[in-house]
Amino acid sequence: AWERVRRRLRAELGEDVFSSWFGRLELAGIVEGVAYLTVPTRFLKSWLEAHYAERLRVNCIAELPAPNGVLLSVRPVSREAAAPRVEAALRARPVAAASTIAEPGKPAGANPAQPCENDPVDACGTALDKRMSFQSFVVGKSNQLAFAAAERIAGAPAGQSPYNPLYLHAGVGLGKTHLLQAIAQEARRQGKRVAYFTADRFMYGFVAALKSQTALAFKEKLRGIDLLIVDDVQFIQGKSIQQEFGHTINALLDAGKQIVVAGDRLAGELEALDERIRSRLGGGLVVEVGELDEALRVKILASRMEALQGAHPNFQVSPDVVAYVARVVTTNGRDLDGAANRLLAHATLSGQLVTLETAEAAIRDLVRTREPRRVKIEDIQKLVATRYNVSRADILSERRTAAVVKPRQIAMYLSKALTPRSLPEIGRRFGGRDHTTVLHAVRKIEKAISEDRSLHEEVDLLKRMLQE
């Protein structure tokens, strides 16, 4: 059946496109009607998601027993070797590998992320980025607690964890991944056995274990480690995968192993996860990483600039440009990275010094006057109901009259656009609907907006009202 999917894609897109983008796409397995597909690089993953998501989905649904769509993830560097390497890694305590330590002479940001290919533990987890170390982490009021907890956990002898589990939560770009990777690298340097997973790599590992029918539950494979780190836990989806995740967490905690998890919201608000896991995650040390204040932003940006200058000696930026950028880019570390890269691109392309004016132009679209407010699904439902003269209960109900269907679909669309909730979560919040229904609504409204100017304006207005 997978061959048929490939044939269809090849026929639809032509040999060239097919082999450039789909040649290395593989089916890892199908669980609960979701096809888990893998590609070898992060770049391929984002490219396929940005340009071919719908085509992939449609073809997989047509040919595979996968009515619930597809999920793409990046597979480990060497897939064939992965399984035996995992076992080997978990048996042998890896010696502190110099390759996982940030080299002092090479400051963060100087070179692109490199997977630590020589490190066997990565075969079962996610590659680490050497730039994300404790040394390169700038500490300020909003993150000092998280930093201190992370450092203590990384430094504590195996089996004597000071806080367990540690749950870090924060909005995007505030340093969660940086801290988790720093913990992983420091702990590993001290000879601890560390498994670091992003949610999608965890799901891949689970599906691959199922497929290889080694029948070894994931938690068995992980039994030999000292420290399990899971990033972006809010993306773990699929009932049996969540169950497995829960078993893994419970088994490791019961065995006294250290667990560190990061998510984009409080553990109790991880609707997709089992109640017991939520309470276990929420029952340890819970630390929020707060927004970056201006002083912190200046320091982060300055250190980023310094790193870039290490690789581009001609790239000069005056302190007042750094101060200006840090003042106006208020959102998060990711946007500060983006700003630094744009300044560099600008300087290299124009061959000119970066002035305040050119800086302003280069980063204009990263500047937001105010953080948009966190929008609640309930508020969306209420506002849309009022606007269209129906009740919120109508929106949640099964009624399918046009007078109710349209506002319902608009409310679902707005929920997807304005909140970080996943499609299944939104479905649940709309009277227990299926995520495919939500997806259908989102697509439908997107299309309608692109064709109907007045609807576009109307939906924009609703958006602004919700964000103010």
**Is 175 annotated as belonging to a binding site?**
yes
Residue 126 or 177: which CB sits closer to ligand ADP? Answer: 177
- End-to-end, the C-alpha distance of the chain in Å comes to 49
Distance of closest approach, residue 50 Cβ to Mg ion, in angstroms: 19
220 sits near ligand ADP (criterion: CB under 6 A): no
Residue 45 CA neighbour count, 13 Å, CB half: 15
Residue 291 or 446: which CB sits closer to ligand ADP? Answer: 291
- Pick one of ligand ADP, Mg ion, none as the site partner of residue 178 (Cβ within 5 to 8 A by kind): ligand ADP
Residues whose CB falls within 8 Å of the CB of residue 53, separated by 6 or more in sequence, listed in order: none
- Pick one of ligand ADP, Mg ion, none as the site partner of residue 175 (Cβ within 5 to 8 A by kind): ligand ADP
- Pick one of Mg ion, ligand ADP, none as the site partner of residue 284 (Cβ within 5 to 8 A by kind): none
Site for ligand ADP in 331-390 (CB under 6 A): 333-334, 337
- Pick one of Mg ion, ligand ADP, none as the site partner of residue 274 (Cβ within 5 to 8 A by kind): none
- Pick one of Mg ion, ligand ADP, none as the site partner of residue 8 (Cβ within 5 to 8 A by kind): none
- Pick one of ligand ADP, Mg ion, none as the site partner of residue 241 (Cβ within 5 to 8 A by kind): none
197 sits near ligand ADP (criterion: CB under 6 A): no
CA–CA separation, 231 vs 70, rounded Å? 21
The values of phi and psi at residue 263, to 5°, are -150, 175
Q: Of the ranges 46-54, 213-221, 277-285, 330-338, which one interacts with ligand ADP (CB under 6 A)?
A: 330-338
Burial of 142 (0-12, 13-18, 19+ CB in 10 A): middle
**Is 355 annotated as belonging to a binding site?**
no
177 sits near ligand ADP (criterion: CB under 6 A): yes
CA–CA separation, 164 vs 253, rounded Å? 8
Residue 263 or 427: which CB sits closer to ligand ADP? Answer: 263
Q: What is the DSSP letter of 431?
A: T
User: Largest Cα–Cα distance in the chain?
Assistant: 67
For Mg ion, the nearest residue by Cβ is: 177
CA dihedral of residues 457, 463, 467, 468 (deg, nearest 10)? 40
Distance of closest approach, residue 293 Cβ to ligand ADP, in angstroms: 11
Distance of closest approach, residue 248 Cβ to ligand ADP, in angstroms: 21
Q: Which helix (H) or strand (E) holds 286?
A: strand 285-288
Q: What angle in degrees, to the nearest 10, is found between the helix axes of 453-467 and 435-451?
A: 120
Residue 142 or 190: which CB sits closer to Mg ion? Answer: 142
68 sits near Mg ion (criterion: CB under 5 A): no
CA–CA separation, 86 vs 208, rounded Å? 12
Distance of closest approach, residue 333 Cβ to ligand ADP, in angstroms: 2
Q: Compose the 151-180 pattern: x for residues touching Mg ion by CB under 5 A, - for all others.
A: -------------------------xx---
Q: Which position has the token pair 């035996």?
A: 84
174 sits near ligand ADP (criterion: CB under 6 A): yes
CA–CA separation, 429 vs 379, rounded Å? 12
Q: Which position has the token pair 């199922």?
A: 210
Q: Which helix (H) or strand (E) holds 72?
A: strand 70-74
CA–CA separation, 326 vs 298, rounded Å? 5
458 sits near ligand ADP (criterion: CB under 6 A): no
Distance of closest approach, residue 419 Cβ to Mg ion, in angstroms: 18
CA–CA separation, 78 vs 112, rounded Å? 20
Distance of closest approach, residue 140 Cβ to ligand ADP, in angstroms: 7
User: The tokens of 442 are what?
Assistant: 């989102």
Binder among 146, 153, 170, 229 for ligand ADP (CB under 6 A): 170
Site for ligand ADP in 109-168 (CB under 6 A): 132, 136-138, 143
The values of phi and psi at residue 30, to 5°, are -125, 125
CA–CA separation, 385 vs 388, rounded Å? 5
**Is 333 annotated as belonging to a binding site?**
no
297 sits near ligand ADP (criterion: CB under 6 A): no
Residues whose CB falls within 8 Å of the CB of residue 41, separated by 6 or more in sequence, listed in order: 74
H-only helix segments in 190-262: 199-212, 218-221, 239-254
Residue 130 or 178: which CB sits closer to ligand ADP? Answer: 178
Residue 37 or 179: which CB sits closer to ligand ADP? Answer: 179
Count the neighbouring beta carbons within 10 Å of the beta carbon of residue 398: 8
**Is 130 annotated as belonging to a binding site?**
no
- Pick one of ligand ADP, Mg ion, none as the site partner of residue 337 (Cβ within 5 to 8 A by kind): ligand ADP
Where do contacts with ligand ADP occur on this chain (CB under 6 A)?
132, 136-138, 143, 170, 172-178, 300, 333-334, 337
Where do contacts with Mg ion occur on this chain (CB under 5 A)?
176-177
Annotated binding residues for ATP, written as ranges, equal 173, 175-177
